[in-house]
A and B are shown apart, each in its own frame.
Chain A
Amino acid sequence: MSKLKARMAPYAMILPGGLWLAVFFVVPIGAMASLSLQQGDLFSGFRQTFHFHTYVDVITQYHDQLVRSFLYGLSTTIIAIVLAYPIAYWIATRGGRHKSTYLFLILLPFFVTFVLRTIAWQFLLADNGIVLSPLKDAHVLPADFHILATSVAVVGGLVYNFLPFMVLPIYVALERIDRSLLEAANDLYASRSQAFLRVVLPLSLPGVFAGVVLTFVPATSDYVNATILGGTGQVMIGNIIETLFIENQDYPQAAALSWVLLTALLIGVFAYARALGTEEVLEVSAA
């Protein structure tokens, strides 16, 4: 009897978390999958018809916006890594006793609402605003130069908003590296750059992976930055899903498009995990 109990113990332990996941993740996502295969409208109701063609429809119809979103997500992630790695490295190695202060500074923008932070950029980057106006007056930039309503503004906004999600996991990974490993590398006549490339960098990759997931996934599906900072050709897939859900009440199309996005993101992330090696991924989930 007690043997059975012992065998059941792990299951009992995952029960709370498992239930949580079931109720708030599996059920909604199942409902969304079911909705995506229904047909109908608000007035006659939606019926389950397993109409898989909706998926073909949304992919052909919103192909451009899907590709654009992934390109924006990818650029955001790459720029964020380039910016975040040195920051995290500096804090981890040179932060000294002020480390927590620096980390707090990284997090500080979070105390301001996401939308408001983005609108602040709209103000800063206005055509005749405090940044561009002096440069135009000094003839550094032509008078009709503008940043708002371009892809640069949208990707810039995304990088700005998601940068902390990249800095923090990289910092954690760097922080955990055993200093004696560096000393050992030194003892073995590794130069500083060799030590970095062959010891520090590989050991910090799990942090980069976590950062990529935390940045790439929300950046790709974001719609606030495109709305506020974009122009006529910067509509992202999140904007389309919003329109389909809220303006058109085309729930099946919206659900199908959400599934397409979800699947594509999962494939992207798993492909990346594969490329990095599965162990690192597990290590990240354990961290």
Chain B
Amino acid sequence: MTRPPNLDPVMMRGMTQPRIGRRDMLRLMGAAGAASVLTACGVSGQGDSTTQTRNQVKDYWSKQHEHGVLNFANWPLYLDVAAGNKSDHPTLDAFTKQTGIKVKYFEVIQDNGPFFAKVRPSLEGGQYCGYDIAVITNGIFFTQFEALGYLVPLDQKRMTNFYKYAGDKFQNRSFDKGNIYSMPWQAGFTGIGYDPARTGRKITSWQDLADPKFSGKIGMFGNNEDLPNCALLALGIDPTTSSPDDWQKAADWLNKQKPLVRKYYSQDYAAALANGDIWITMAWSGDIFQLNLSGSKLEFVLPEEGALLFIDNMLLLKGVQNPVDAMELMDFYYDPRQAATLAEWVNYISPVPDAQQVVSSDAAKASGGDKTYLESLVNSYAVFPTPQEYAKASLGRPLKLSELNQWNSIFQPVYQS
């Protein structure tokens, strides 16, 4: 069931705001399509710009061909690997077998910020940055990539599997309405991870992160998205509609909590939780799930005030050299079989609900440790959350670029002092 792409809000802004309007369109296609778009823009008024933009996108895609190669930039440990050979990826092999397209896979994204800083000069200069597909989390950097015109609109005709198999939550994302620029890769919850043996009680609320009994044993995330949104939730404020006054309240709460906090972590909180340096911490669902697979007895909880959902999205970067190949790969991962193989390895939320069936039948066929493992995946919050679990999670405050300075100046001093 293909739905017509809804280009209006995003494209309208690109066309109507003089600040980035023309440059945005120039960047849209990268250097290759620039000339034709420029002419189109030069003569266009602001009348039916949407149709016009849509036509330009269509025109761009009609000129693209498969090249048989593809460069894919992703985060570390975010793709299935073959047993015994870490540089062999079964799903990529299957893709090459099916399409003949060879994929060069790069684990170069440690975090959205550094990756943005790395590719920005090429994108700004209108050059190919070396990657066709990149995986970027919803939030500030996704917004920036988009607003700067660094993203190429997808070819809606090459998203068959996506529109057929992607879960509702993943076809209707507030930060990319109409799925114009991206398709989700995997997702996860930001909630609380804790060691029940050490806390001595069940954890249910964000407020538990401010319990003096855990003084010095509390971990928080030192970033300007998870931390602020968690604090807003802790105060019972809906992050999506929060005002600058609410932000200040949240920052006050965080400052009050600070003396109890061991450290504002980036990625290394998981090891600290596993070895007892901290007892309770903000955590990402997949991490806790994986720690437990390797023997820890930790708990992950979606707090009663609500959790955060993050979605990592595959997108095409401006100047993309193999766009058709890239589209094929992105859609390929929405095949439930491939989605299942991926989920069985990475343990994050799969955007393909039907993959649950496949994992379940894989479990039925497996035996011993593999069977137990696969069975644990089928009903896990970490991989296939229930509608109730989804309902608890917010994507956090969608920040307008004009709000960013204020947001940063309120929250950054909390974890950077």
A: residues with CB less than 8 A from B are 42-44, 64-65, 122, 126-129, 144, 146, 148-149, 227-228, 230-233, 235, 239-240, 243, 245-249
Pair A43/B19 contact, Cβ less than 8 Å? yes
CB distance from B154 to the nearest CB of A (A): 23
Pair A148/B19 contact, Cβ less than 8 Å? no
Please indicate the chain A residues that have their CB under 8 angstroms from the CB of B415 in the complex: 232
Contact sample, A vs B, 29 pairs, CB 8 Å cutoff: A42-B144, A43-B20, A43-B147, A43-B401, A44-B19, A65-B416, A65-B417, A126-B275, A126-B277, A127-B275, A127-B276, A146-B216, A148-B277, A149-B263, A228-B268, A231-B261, A231-B262, A232-B258, A232-B264, A239-B416, A243-B412, A243-B416, A245-B117, A246-B113, A246-B117, A247-B223, A247-B408, A249-B117, A249-B144
Find the A residue at minimum CB distance from B264: A232
Q: Which of A42, A129, A232, A248 is in CB contact (< 8 Å) with B148? A: A42
Pair B144/A232 contact, Cβ less than 8 Å? no
Is B114 interfacial (CB-CB < 8 Å)?
A: yes
Map CB proximity to A onto B257-279 as digits: 1 under 8 Å, 0 otherwise: 01001111010100110011100
CB distance from B25 to the nearest CB of A (A): 15
Within 8 A of A (CB), among B107-157: 113-114, 116-117, 144, 147-148
Find the B residue at minimum CB distance from A231: B263
Pair A128/B275 contact, Cβ less than 8 Å? yes
Please indicate the chain B residues that have their CB under 8 angstroms from the CB of A231 in the complex: 261-263
**Complex Cα–Cα for A127 and B216 (A):** 11
Pair A248/B19 contact, Cβ less than 8 Å? no
Pair B417/A64 contact, Cβ less than 8 Å? yes
Please indicate the chain A residues that have their CB under 8 angstroms from the CB of B416 in the complex: 65, 235, 239-240, 243
Please indicate the chain A residues that have their CB under 8 angstroms from the CB of B271 in the complex: 122
**Complex Cα–Cα for A128 and B278 (A):** 10
Find the A residue at minimum CB distance from B258: A232
Main secondary structure of the interface of A (DSSP, over half): loop
CB distance from B200 to the nearest CB of A (A): 14
**Complex Cα–Cα for A64 and B416 (A):** 11
**Complex Cα–Cα for A186 and B107 (A):** 65
Please indicate the chain A residues that have their CB under 8 angstroms from the CB of B117 in the complex: 245-246, 249
Given contacts A146-B216, A246-B114, 11 further A-B contacts (CB under 8 A): A44-B19, A64-B417, A126-B276, A128-B277, A146-B277, A227-B266, A232-B415, A246-B113, A247-B113, A247-B223, A247-B408
In order of increasing CB-CB distance, the 3 nearest A-B pairs are: A128-B276, A231-B263, A246-B113
CB distance from B321 to the nearest CB of A (A): 24
Please indicate the chain A residues that have their CB under 8 angstroms from the CB of B276 in the complex: 126-128
Pair B261/A232 contact, Cβ less than 8 Å? yes
**Complex Cα–Cα for A262 and B271 (A):** 35
Please indicate the chain B residues that have their CB under 8 angstroms from the CB of A245 in the complex: 117
CB distance from B251 to the nearest CB of A (A): 14
Map CB proximity to A onto B302-331 as digits: 1 under 8 Å, 0 otherwise: 000000000000000000000000000000
